[in-house]
Amino acid sequence: MKFRLLTLVISLLLMTNVLQAQDRVVKGIVKESGSEEPLPGVNVLIQGTSTGSTTDFNGEFSLSIPEGSTLVFSYVGYMAQDVVVGNQSVINVSLEVDAEQLEEVVVTALGIERSAESLTYSTQSVSSEDLVTAKDPNVMNSLSGRVAGLQLSRSGSGAGGSVKINLRGNRSAKGDSSPLYVIDGVPMAGQGSGQPGEIENPGRDGGDGISNINSEDIESINILKGAAASVLYGSQAANGVIMITTKKGRPGHSSVSFSSNFTAEQAYMYPEMQSKYDAEGNGINHKAHTAEDFYKTGTTWVNSISYSQGNENSQFYVSYANTTANGVMPSNTFNKNNFSFNTTSKAFDDKLELRASANYIQQEGINRPSAGAYMNPIYSSYLSSRSISNDELTNNYQSWNDSRNIYEQNYPANVKSEIGNENPYWLLNQAQTEDTRHRFMVSGSAKYKFNENLSLQGRANIDATQDVWERKAHATTNPINIAADPVTGLSNGGYFRDDFNNTQIYADAILNFNKQFNDFNVTTLLGTAIRDEAAHLQKITSDKRSIRYTNIFTPAGLPEGMVPTETLDRRQVQSVFASATVGYKEMLYLDVAGRNDWSSTLPVNNNSYFYPSVGLTAVLNKMVEMPDVISLAKIRGNYTVLGNDAQPGVTTLQHEVDFNGNLKFADTQPASDLKPELSTSIEFGAELEFFNGLLYMDANFYKTNTVNQLFRVENPTGSSGFRYSYVNAGDVENRGFELSISAMPVSSGDLTWSTTVNLARNVNEIKELYTRADGTEADFDIVTNGGNIKYMQVLRKGGAIGEIWTADFLRDADGKISTVDADGKTVPAGSASLDPETAVKTNSNPDFLAGWTNTLKYKGFVMNMVIDGRFGGKTLSLTNSYMDSEGTSKEFAEAIDNNGNVTVEGIAFDPVGYMAATAGRSNVTSQYLYDQTNIRLRELSIGYTFDSIGPLENVTLSAIGRNLFFFYNAAPFDPDVVMSTGAGVQGLNFFSLPATRSVGLNLRVNF
């Protein structure tokens, strides 16, 4: 209430400020000093504000300003100039060339700053403003549509859930294809305790590391897409790098920044449910439960405050942020607290620079949404029996048992053993999950400059995460899968808990050398690094047995003979690396880099692997004379080999004790001759810039082949004493293009419009798999086996990673659908088996990605808009299939009401018979494949910035929205919501949280 009152007071002050302001217009021309050529694209800002304009093609500007203003003129490569307006109405300015800032600087691998012109590979940057205008609890979701070639999907676990980011396709056949996240040059620890890997009982989203970061602490994000850009990070960066640069204090500047972001979320794109018939087609006379009854309006608050201060010798930055979310699923809450601090100081005549930073993250989630069947409230909601009224399901989910003195689940409907649905409100209240996280990230660095050319830097970082996840399933929960106590015959409940600890220690030392030799500039570095990781997971589970004591949830109460299980994964990688860049007259650049890793996950006698990179860039506009309108013409190319080690444990015997206390001997032979995975990449690109940046184009073409992939294959009987062994094999190829076009079509007076279009296409192909021990070549390998569900995720020679197989109709010898007569009605004869000959083969990855961002500014007003599109790819919706089979869907009622037919391949089927033959987990699942093509309004914000209100500066109030609507969506659900952000269960929609749209307000204030 206090915060709402504060917001109202500030809004009234803003209105008063607008009424009192008296603006006037100033005009002028900005030219380059000496040549007197007009400079287009120069930023003209009112000092102390973000209000301003940009010069047009003729170097002219026009701007409305309040009395007493000072204008700041700035442009990359030129010295900024402040002009006190006074009584002037026309201001003409000449900007001096700044030799030290002549070229744009970008942050590259290891946190090294380089001239953008000198890069031999593709990068793309996203600014802080893009990340905080319309906030998402996971900052990575703000990258959608803003980066060419970046494919982003999010898990259906609500606020704080994981994201799946893919740069230039999937490289690893069965491993992780996620990029490396780097904060201020230091690699960040990876995923949480796991991702769903099965279908009906898939597990949970264990969270990722990047979702913990406070977006307000980020200065910029730079995406290194290709292998050449990330080679210095080694095997961790095999799938690209997302470089995060955080905010720091500035010399001579102190400020307090506060932001408050509120959004209200609404679920949409959920299945429509019917309330006319029961599962047998008999009419009902009550209001049955629907998804619309289940979901509620969610809310999310993200409040942040920071303080920074600095002088020439020391600077510091400190911040705190809180995220509080109430999800659209009842009883789902999420709370996160971020504390961060960093400091920089200089000594010994600025020769020594010391930096230190610390971050602490604490978060808690209650009843995070999950996918799958058992103990999933969404599953039970969508499949709730039509014979039960919504009022009874919602308000009478439990009943008191006098003899046991406990509440028991109330679900008065017959439950099929293969379905196992329950009362969703019982699950929400009596089978809740709770997860907590404590994370510490501490870094320190020291850099000593021996002279202007030579420096030595050392860094160290520790990233430690402690996760606890717990489910307390009260007695009578999940009676199909939690068996009753064998002695009493009663259900006492189930207990499930994961304790996960992950620690990464990283350190490096880098010697840098940079010197100009006449027309040549030489930049080199030589470094060494060590990365040590330890991941410990303890799992406590009562599995499918009832705990000993009713509703007493403790490890001591596990069923007799059951014990906690533990896994410990260790990895250490030691490295040396070097790179050299030679520039000639700032027009030709040669890059050479190499790295050698020694990994503990590879065999001792073969744990060293070296990989090189070479690249060349030519700045054509400096080599030959070009028209003045061309400010940059650049071509580049590179060739890189990048290595990758194996997951921990493949070179040693892996005996284990299971949760029943039984010793299970290893069935997989240790890999004694394992080789590192290698990716060979070639990339060509070109950049064109016109009118000093008013129009910019960046095009890239690439091809990557990844070989020596790790496969676990079955041995011939009696060959080695082990059932399985590991082999290095396979060749996965990714080839494609990326195109990014940025422009400022309008730059006139107070009005500017900047726009960027990002386009990308990637083609993935499995060119080779592996040869079996008997000498035969494998045609396919199963990633996810659906078991009783006719779905498989498969690797197939000639196919692509992400291929899914679903069941087709039974067909006759001519390939026509086989039919039978059922009471005079034509229905399909059934489904075919799921084998290589008859399966319907599709792929879940898109054919094409597109994004379009726009920023429109007029005086103090600013509008930001992001539209993105995903074209092609298929998803199997078991959600729709199960609902049709169980009679809860709108389509089920329409089939009963329909007097017509369903026509497939020219054959007219009875609607009810067709649905009975195709719906469900073991029927014609291919009929529930949907095209993933969609175009949406991803983000929209409209705001106004006020110059000052008393002590407040740059006060911005914005109306914001995310995922507002689809311009087009071929599927009845949101294809961006995935069941898992891991390698398995892709292309599958199975009772996940639906899409959510959010609208709200964002307030930003500087003191």
Q: How far is CA 950 from CA 13, 17, 85, 341, in A?
A: 9, 10, 22, 28
**Residue 339 — very low, low, confident or very high, per pLDDT cuts 50/70/90?**
very high
Task: Single out the residue in 67, 95, 123 at which a domain terminates.
Answer: 95
* Confidence class for position 8, pLDDT limits 50, 70, 90: very low
Handedness of CA 671, 193, 144, 216 (dihedral sign): negative
DSSP-assigned states of every residue in 749-804? TTEEEEEEEEEEEEEEEEEE--B-TTSPBPSEEEEEE-TTSSEEEEEETTS-TTEE
Q: Yes or no: say if 38 and 31 are a contact pair by the CB < 8 Å rule.
A: yes
pLDDT in tens, 684-723: 999 999 988 889 999 999 999 999 988 888 888 766 788 8
Q: Looking at the domain assignment, is residue 795 inside a domain?
A: no
Residues 726, 708, single domain; the answer is: yes
Domain containing residue 576: CATH number: 2.40.170.20
Is 114 found in the same domain as 64?
A: no
- Count structural domains, the chain: 2
331 and 200 housed in the same domain: yes
Classify residue 890: in a domain, yes or no.
no
Strand pairing report for 352-366 and 588-599 = unpaired
- Residue 169 and residue 83 share a domain: no
What CATH number corresponds to the domain at position 72? 2.60.40.1120
Global pTM?
Answer: 0.88
Residue 137 in this model has a pLDDT that exceeds 90: no
Determine the Cα–Cα distance for residues 483 and 473; give it in Å rounded to an integer: 13
Q: Which of 70, 95, 120 is the last residue of a domain?
A: 95
Which residues touch 158 (CB under 8 Å, ≥6 apart)?
325, 327, 328, 329, 332, 334, 365, 368, 369, 993
Of 31, 64, 95, at which residue does a domain stop?
95
pLDDT band for 196, please (50, 70, 90 cuts).
low
Q: Is the residue at 899 inside a domain?
A: no
Backbone angles phi, psi at 101, to 5 degrees: -115, 30
Q: Measured at the alpha carbon of residue 695, what is the angle toward residues 689 and 701, in degrees to the nearest 5?
A: 60
In a shared domain, residues 507 and 358: yes
Across the range 670-677, mean pLDDT stands at 86
The reported pLDDT for the residue numbered 33 is 83
Greatest pairwise CA separation for the chain in angstroms: 96
pLDDT of residue 10: 43
Domain check: are 446 and 302 in the same one? yes
Asked if residue 662 is part of any domain, the answer here is: yes
Residue 2 has a pLDDT of 40
Please name the residue that has the structure tokens 């890793």: 597
Is residue 698 included in any domain, yes or no?
yes
Q: What is the mean pLDDT of residues 88-99?
A: 83
CB-based contact 136:161 (threshold 8 Å) = no
Nearest to 467 by CA among 442, 441, 498: 498
- Whether residue 135 sits in one domain with residue 65: no
What is the C-alpha separation between 146 and 866, in angstroms, rounded? 8
d(CA 379, CA 457): 54
Site of tokens 């744990």 = 607
Instruction: Report whether pLDDT(5) > 50.
Output: no
Average pLDDT value over all residues in the chain: 88
Give me the pLDDT at residue 859, please: 84
List, in order, residues 6 or more apart from 577 with CB less than 8 Å away.
Answer: 232, 234, 525, 526, 527, 528, 529, 593, 594, 595, 596
Whether 723 and 588 share a structural domain: yes
- Residue 127 and residue 78 share a domain: no
Q: Are residues 213 and 312 in the same domain?
A: yes
| Per-residue pLDDT at 725 exceeds 90 | no
Pair (250, 293) in one structural domain: yes
- Phi, then psi, of 520 in degrees rounded to 5: -110, 140
CB 904 within 8 A of CB 831: no
Please tell me the predicted confidence (pLDDT) of residue 599.
92
| C-alpha to C-alpha distance for 889 and 272, rounded to whole angstroms | 6
Same domain assignment for residues 220 and 168 = yes
Tell me the percentage of the chain whose pLDDT exceeds 70.
95
DSSP 872-896: --EEEEHHHHHHHHHT-BHHHHHHH
Contacts of 898 (CB under 8 A, 6+ apart): 911
Is the distance from CB of 696 to CB of 631 less than 8 angstroms? Answer: no
- The per-residue pLDDT for range 244-302, each reduced to its tens digit, is 999 998 888 888 999 999 999 999 999 999 999 999 899 999 999 999 999 999 999 99
pLDDT for the residue numbered 953: 72
Polymer length of the chain: 1007
Nearest to 687 by CA among 600, 772, 589, 614: 589
- pLDDT tens track for 943-1002: 998 877 777 777 899 999 999 999 999 999 999 988 877 777 888 899 999 999 999 999
CB proximity list for 650: less than 8 A, separation 6 or greater: 601, 668, 670, 671, 674, 710, 726
Q: Under 8 Å CB-to-CB from 236, ≥6 apart: which residues?
A: 180, 187, 531, 573
Would residue 580 count as lying in a domain? Answer: yes
Q: Is 889 contained in some domain?
A: no
Average pLDDT over residues 213-220: 91
Find the mean pLDDT for residues 797-808: 93
Q: How confident is the model at residue 195 (pLDDT cuts 50, 70, 90)?
A: low
CB 20 within 8 A of CB 13: no
3-class secondary-structure state, position 293: helix
The answer to whether the CB of 697 falls within 8 A of the CB of 741 is yes
State which residues form the domain around 43: 21-95
Q: CB under 8 Å to 833, separation ≥6 — which residues?
A: 807
Q: What is the pLDDT of residue 539?
A: 93
Q: Give the pLDDT mean for 408-430.
A: 89
SS3 category, 215: helix
Closest CA to 810 of 834, 829, 782, 786: 829
The string of pLDDT tens digits covering residues 885-906 is: 999 999 999 999 986 788 999 9
Model confidence pLDDT, tens digit, residues 54-90: 887 778 888 888 888 889 988 877 788 889 888 888 9
Question: What sign for the dihedral angle of Cα 374, 375, 378, 380?
Answer: positive
Residue type at 782? I
In a domain, 918, yes or no: no
Is the distance from CB of 469 to CB of 206 less than 8 angstroms?
yes
SS3 content of the chain, % helix, strand, coil (to 5): 10, 50, 35
